């Protein structure tokens, strides 16, 4: 049975400063709009939909691609067990500093690198395989070769019963996901700006 997704675990997770989050996110969007895809962070509705089927008792190693200001990061930590580990891969300097300043949780490691480095980093840390990988990076704006390499590496670093969770504003990622993964389910969340689709992908 899945644990109550709203039950607070460990130290209860970080208490993020929403105003500061919005400021940092907005400034970064105007500097690098292609890296984000949206001018504001994800809504609580999208967060709940993306995470609602996670079995937190089995989530020992969690990886996040593109955490931004930590909207999902904070919610992951609230739900994770005290002995779980979260590796968050972020390329934007401002976001890396923000996450390190705002989320002093020992379960979190902010890796200043791209999603393409995740498999190598997990191997170097001896941390894999990953039980869950969460991604909100805009795959539709990536060169196809780079996108496909990330998807393939993600599949290979997942545990046999692991899940790749993807939230996207463009539907163009569906076929590449189906090509890389054995099973892909999706749901639509309209209560987000812009509306988004959540994909659950399994090897």
Classify residue 160: in a domain, yes or no: yes
Classify residue 44: in a domain, yes or no: yes
Element holding 28 (H helix, E strand): helix 18-31
pTM to 2 decimal places = 0.82
Q: Tokens for 135, please give them.
A: 């991604």
| CATH number of the domain enclosing 128 | 3.40.50.150
Cα distance between residue 192 and residue 181, in whole Å? 26
Classify residue 133: in a domain, yes or no: yes
Classify residue 122: in a domain, yes or no: yes
Classify residue 100: in a domain, yes or no: yes
Share of the chain above pLDDT 70, in %: 80
Q: Which spans in 62-194 are helix H? A: 71-79, 93-102, 118-125, 144-157, 174-180
Total count of domains within the chain: 1
Summarize pLDDT for 62-114 with one digit per residue, the tens: 999 999 999 999 999 999 999 999 999 999 999 999 999 999 999 999 999 99
Report residue 128's pLDDT band, with 50, 70 and 90 as the boundaries. Answer: confident
Domain residue limits at 101: 34-202
Classify residue 24: in a domain, yes or no: no
- SS3 state of residue 159: strand
Report residue 160's pLDDT band, with 50, 70 and 90 as the boundaries. Answer: very high
Classify residue 22: in a domain, yes or no: no
Classify residue 81: in a domain, yes or no: yes
Spatial neighbors of 165 by CB under 8 A, at least 6 apart, are 50, 51, 54, 132, 133, 134, 135, 198, 199, 200, 201
Region 12-35: mean pLDDT is 48
Region 28-44: mean pLDDT is 57
């Amino acid at each position: 049975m899945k644990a109550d997704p709203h039950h607070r675990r460990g130290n209860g997770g970080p208490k993020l400063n929403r105003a500061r989050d919005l400021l940092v996110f907005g400034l970064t969007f105007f500097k690098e709009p292609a890296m984000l895809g949206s001018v504001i962070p994800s809504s609580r509705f999208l967060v709940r939909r993306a995470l609602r089927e996670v079995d937190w008792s089995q989530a020992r190693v969690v990886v996040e691609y593109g955490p931004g200001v930590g909207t999902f990061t904070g919610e992951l930590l609230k739900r994770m067990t005290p002995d779980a580990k979260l590796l968050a891969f972020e390329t934007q300097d401002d976001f890396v500093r923000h996450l390190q300043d705002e989320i002093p949780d020992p379960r979190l490691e902010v890796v200043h690198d791209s999603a393409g480095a995740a498999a190598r980093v997990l191997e170097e840390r001896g941390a894999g395989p990953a039980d869950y990988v969460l991604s909100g990076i805009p795959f539709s704006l990536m060169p196809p070769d780079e996108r496909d390499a990330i998807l393939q590496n993600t599949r290979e670093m997942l545990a046999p019963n692991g899940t790749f969770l993807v939230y996207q504003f463009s539907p163009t990622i569906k076929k590449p996901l189906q090509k890389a993964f054995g099973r892909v389910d999706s749901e639509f969340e309209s209560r987000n700006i812009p509306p988004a689709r959540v994909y659950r992908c399994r090897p």
